[in-house]
Amino acid sequence: MRKNLQLFYFFQIDEAASFKQTLNHETMINLITPVSVMLDPGTQPQVAVNIAFSQAGLQALGITGDLQDEPFANGQMQDASNLGDPGTTNWKPTFTDPSNLHGVFIIASDKQIKIDAMVATLELGFGKSQHNLYKLQGNVRPPPFACHEHFGWLDGIGQPAVSGFQTAFTGQQQVDPGVILVGESGDPSVRPAWAKDGSFLAFRELQQLVPEFAKFVTDNAPPVPGEDPKDYAGIFGARLFGRWKSGAPTFIASRADDLELANDPQRNNAFNYTRPAQTSLQISLFVLPRAHTHCSKARPRADNVSHQNSIYRASIPFGTEVTPAEQASHTSDPTSERGLAFVAYQSGIAAGFQFLQKMWLNNPRFATGKNVDPGFDPILGANHGEARYIKGAYISNPTEAMNIPNDFIVSRGGEYFFAPSISAIRDTISV
């Protein structure tokens, strides 16, 4: 949802019959914004409310049909190893008790007063039939960092365009609606009829250790021939992400940021990681090789991957800005977490988020068929809390591995949900 503020309101259902009765009321149904509407920002209301249920939540409401998605059925806690988490030691308590986490309201607006009013409306309407387990407030960062995540990079620039809802710009991935919405063209799975036009939601609360990451980049930035040493860190950070902080791709703007390129939607995705044969060796080595950067791991482009593995992200930062004290000490204040409320929609978690995290980001050999194993995704790759490595970082020796001893993104837990259509809410879930 393209709003400046989002509240994630996680709840437990206490009285199923009463909850269903309230949910079935036309007044309540009219408040809900389904995923199909969220795909078109022009149709979003001033206050958008999405509701999604976990497997435990559907069972609490008496919905027992198999949605044919194993990660969803098992829950994210059982999937922690596949996601590269070091167990669930760092997880918030709400996410380590999945039997009681039944659902989430995602309430989005540009004004906090409207979100607060909607929470009051929902709590009054549902009364004692549910209670809140945990709230996470997301907020777009203040200018000039709006639309940038806490490490400083423009977020969401590689989002796919969903056919029937958006028209792709040059180089932007165009996917069938069934990649995101269950039962639509492009969804190969067979699921209950009521699930049509719903979407699986993968939620992750990701803490970002911003001062620590900045120090790592500064301390480990390799020399760059022909460049001023004071620019090494900025160049290295861009090479790790595959984009400059502005969003300009390093594959095109290899030596310096290019704001004009970054701001041109017809150009900022117009590349596929292949170079003409006459490209100089120096340029080829300067840019991290294909599948060595975060952007190329998360969206491989030229490696002929299936569009079925695409996700539609609706993430938002949370927490405050880094303080001068944190910058000076290179250490995050443990009492003031910041990070990303990661949200991904897809028609199947096994083919979407789980596949992307396990088979691409956490797989040091992806993409296969390269002269050198790329290593882990340098940003979101995870190795169960153990050290990671990347290759291609050293321009003078691209086959040499660089060790990344610590995680700069820490999973605080999450869950898998199913966000149903309005008809599914009215005709199946609430009856």
Catalytic residue among 79, 85, 155, 258: 155
Structure tokens at 428: 């199946």
DSSP state of 375: B
CA 291 to CA 37: how far, in whole Å?
Answer: 33
155 is a catalytic site residue: yes
One pLDDT digit (tens) per residue for the chain, 431 residues: 678 999 999 999 999 999 999 999 999 999 999 998 888 767 778 999 999 999 999 999 999 889 999 999 999 999 999 999 999 999 999 999 999 999 999 999 999 999 999 999 999 999 999 999 999 999 999 999 999 999 999 999 989 999 999 999 999 999 999 999 999 999 999 999 999 999 999 999 999 999 999 999 999 999 998 899 999 999 999 999 999 999 999 989 988 999 999 999 999 999 887 765 444 444 444 555 454 789 888 888 766 566 789 999 999 999 999 999 999 999 999 999 999 999 999 999 999 999 999 999 999 988 766 666 789 999 999 999 999 999 888 888 888 999 999 999 999 999 999 999 999 999 999 99
Predicted pLDDT of residue 241: 94
Q: How many CB atoms lie within 10 A of CB 42?
A: 7
Cβ atoms within 10 Å of 360's Cβ, excluding its own: 22
Q: In which residue are the tokens 């088979």 written?
A: 359
pLDDT digits (tens, 9 = 90+) for 94-143: 999 999 999 999 999 999 999 999 999 999 999 999 999 999 999 999 99
Q: How far apart are CA 334 and CA 245, in angstroms?
A: 26
Pairing mode of beta strands 130-139, 5-13: antiparallel
Look at residue 369 in the predicted model and tell me its pLDDT.
Answer: 63
With beta carbons less than 8 A apart as the criterion, state whether 198 and 189 touch.
Answer: no
Per-residue pLDDT, 282: 45
Task: Report whether 115 contacts 5 (CB < 8 A).
Answer: yes
Structure tokens at 84: 């590269």
Query: Which residues, in sequence order, are CB contacts of 283 under 8 Å at separation 6+?
Result: 254, 275
**Lookup result for tokens 């938002």:** 316
Q: Which residue has the tokens 């069934």?
A: 178
- Provide the Cα torsion 142, 146, 151, 155; round to 10°: 160
